[in-house]
Structure 1
Amino acid sequence: MKLFVKNLTHVDFSYFDAERGLLGESWQTDIVLTGKLNDESMICDFSIVKKQIKKWLDDNIDHMLAIPAEHSGSTLTPLENDRVSFHFDHSHVSSRAAAADKRVFQCDAPTQAICVLPMVKITPEAVAKWVESQILNLLPAELEAVSVHFSPEVITGAQYQYSHGLKKHAGNCQRIAHGHRSTIEIYADGARNAAMEHNWAKRWQDIYLGTQEDLQSETTENGVNYHCFSYTSQQGLFELKIASDQVYMLDCDTTVESLSAHIAEVLVAENPGTHIEAHGFEGIGKGAISEKKAVK
């Protein structure tokens, strides 16, 4: 017998891709449980198992930076005070046909903020198999198998993947490199405007949204420009070095409320006299709405 749970939870995190760099992601999680019927004509206590799996995902991947530990470009180094340093050297990416890619990426963070995945490339299928191998022994003995399926939201319109960190947040949003895959809705004078939506998605494609007060320096190494961020929050010291062409700077915190307000303000400045209503999403099915209109 099998039990299934559709949309058990959403995991919002960032992962490192050897080609595209740091990517925010949001996956819907579906599960299938296989086992024999017990004396109650049930496979297991559904509510308990759902809570166990969701808690494991919350503790081990949600709002973390997932890294492809087996890629030749990856280096993971232990640091003092239960911290680790993830370094990626893009020169190890052999599929790039152009001149050698001189970019590097580095994130130093508390260990709890890094999800170390034993794989070369992070995909929903590969991560699902890893999760299955980790959680089966944690579940009731009567369960014979657990199947996990991760899938990005089906978005027919504009979408982008962004990463950020919210140092003032008391929860796991304070981690400097976590993120989301998001759609966007923009209304100009009350009408949905697909052109504005796609234009904004292009601006924030594969982007890191940085807060100005967290920026420590801008440097150039081997012809590559970098933004270097650092802050200390409740979970500890976070540091990030990322190529500048993957950064969009803001003068505010990168909460979804501030992001939707920023979108509305920029679009009104670009379209004087137009009433703009920006629906900024933070992952799947949640977000904030900001409205603004400026006089011509």
Structure 2
Amino acid sequence: MQLFVDDLTVIDFSYLCKQRGIVGESWIVDVLLDGSLNDQSMVLDFAVVKKQIKAIIDDAVDHKLVLPIQEPALTLAESPHNEGHQTIDFISDVASYYLQSPACAFASIDCLTITVPAVTKHLTAIILAQLPDNVKGLTLVLRPEVIPSDYYHYTHGLKLHDGNCQRIAHGHRSKIKIYVDDKRDAKLEAQWCKRWQDIYIASEADRVSRDDIELSAYAMNNLTLDHQYFSYHAPQGRFDIAVDKKILEVVDCDSTVELLADFILRQIKAEHTELANNTVTVVAYEGVAKGAIVNG
């Protein structure tokens, strides 16, 4: 007997990639269970599937920085600064990234490259270990949203968030719609998707000096003049990141999707003076099927 739930959840996370750096991603999750019927004549109660399996997935990878621990360019270590925290040194082909976060903000996967099969294998083992004995098989399908237009990948953290969005390196794969006088403007959309291709978005309010950043000893000895520093305390602990300016967008606001939509609108109006008398609408997405709309 088989039981399925399509669109069970969406995983919003970032991962380390040797070629691309830190990549924000969003994958939709479908679940198929194989097993015998239990004493309720079910393979598993839908309520359990939707609540328990979603909770396991969320705890394992959602809103985390996913690490390919076989990658030689990555070093993960216990932080010398804060108990229960870890540091990351990552030297990609694009730039060098250095972080400190509570250990719960990272997910290590035993692979060289973060791929759909690697994450699927990791999650399948974790979930199966927590399901009842009558469930004998589990098939997960992780898939990106089909987006026929332009989209971007961004990574950020929200220090004011009580939940897992506070983690300084989680992200999303997001589409955007921009309208000028109710007509969609593909050129503006493409410009923003190019600008925010594999970008790290930081808030100016979180900027700190080199003297105030907390990173590994290796990081402190290898920082360059191109690195910029951001740090904050949140309910889960202290978060630090050093990011090269060429893969960085610093915004004058928090990086909630509401304020990012407003930031994009303000930037369009400032950079395109020919649109001063036009109505511009920005529909900014945060991952799949959610986002914010601003007009101006």
Say whether the fold is shared (TM-score over 0.5).
Answer: yes
Alignment partner of 1:283 is 2:284:
no
Q: Counterpart in 2 of 1:96?
A: none
- Kindly provide the CA deviation profile for residues 82-112 of structure 1, in whole angstroms up to 9, marking residues without a partner as x: 001111133xxxxxxxxxx594211110011
Alignment partner of 1:157 is 2:158:
no
Rounded to whole Å, the distance in 2 between the matches of 1:147 and 1:62 is 19
Q: Counterpart in 1 of 2:242?
A: 241
Q: Counterpart in 1 of 2:66?
A: 66
Which stretch of the first structure deviates more once superposed, 11-20 or 71-80? Answer: 71-80
Contact kept in structure 1, 2:178 and 2:188, CA below 8 Å: yes
- Kindly provide the CA deviation profile for residues 120-144 of structure 1, in whole angstroms up to 9, marking residues without a partner as x: 1001121011100111020011000
Displacement of 1:190 in angstroms is 1.1
Which stretch of the first structure deviates more once superposed, 257-266 or 40-49? Answer: 40-49
- Kindly provide the CA deviation profile for residues 154-211 of structure 1, in whole angstroms up to 9, marking residues without a partner as x: 0000100001111011111111111110000000011111111111111111101110
Displacement of 1:41 in angstroms is 3.5
Secondary structure of 1:119's aligned partner: coil
Secondary structure of 1:216's aligned partner: coil
Alignment partner of 1:21 is 2:21:
yes
Q: Counterpart in 2 of 1:8?
A: 8
Displacement of 1:272 in angstroms is 2.2
> Measured at CA, do residues 220 and 103 of structure 1 come closer, stay the same or move farther in structure 2, by a change above 3 Å?
farther
Displacement of 1:50 in angstroms is 2.6
> Measured at CA, do residues 215 and 188 of structure 1 come closer, stay the same or move farther in structure 2, by a change above 3 Å?
same
Contact kept in structure 2, 1:49 and 1:139, CA below 8 Å: no
Secondary structure of 1:266's aligned partner: helix
Displacement of 1:220 in angstroms is 11
- Kindly provide the CA deviation profile for residues 42-99 of structure 1, in whole angstroms up to 9, marking residues without a partner as x: 2222221331110011112111111111111111101241001111133xxxxxxxxx
Q: Counterpart in 1 of 2:264?
A: 263
Rounded to whole Å, the distance in 2 between the matches of 1:287 and 1:133 is 32
Corresponding residue to 2:133 among 133, 138, 141:
141
Rounded to whole Å, the distance in 2 between the matches of 1:173 and 1:37 is 38
Contact kept in structure 2, 1:125 and 1:149, CA below 8 Å: no
> Measured at CA, do residues 222 and 81 of structure 1 come closer, stay the same or move farther in structure 2, by a change above 3 Å?
closer
Corresponding residue to 1:87 among 79, 86, 89:
89
Secondary structure of 2:83's aligned partner: coil
| Aligned counterparts, 1:179-218, within 5 A | 179-217=171-209
Contact kept in structure 2, 1:167 and 1:231, CA below 8 Å: yes
Runs of 4+ residues deviating >4 angstroms:
218-224
Rounded to whole Å, the distance in 2 between the matches of 1:267 and 1:222 is 33
Which ranges of structure 1 fall in alignment gaps of 5 or more residues?
91-100
Question: What is the aligned-residue identity percentage?
Answer: 40
Alignment partner of 1:41 is 2:41:
yes
Rounded to whole Å, the distance in 1 between the matches of 2:222 and 2:131 is 49
Count of equivalent residues: 282
Contact kept in structure 2, 1:31 and 1:149, CA below 8 Å: yes
Contact kept in structure 2, 1:275 and 1:291, CA below 8 Å: yes
Counterpart residue type for residue 130 of structure 1? H
> Measured at CA, do residues 223 and 111 of structure 1 come closer, stay the same or move farther in structure 2, by a change above 3 Å?
closer
Rounded to whole Å, the distance in 1 between the matches of 2:221 and 2:139 is 46
> Measured at CA, do residues 185 and 103 of structure 1 come closer, stay the same or move farther in structure 2, by a change above 3 Å?
closer
Rounded to whole Å, the distance in 2 between the matches of 1:166 and 1:223 is 26
Secondary structure of 2:140's aligned partner: strand
Rounded to whole Å, the distance in 2 between the matches of 1:149 and 1:236 is 33
Q: Counterpart in 1 of 2:213?
A: none
Counterpart residue type for residue 130 of structure 2? L
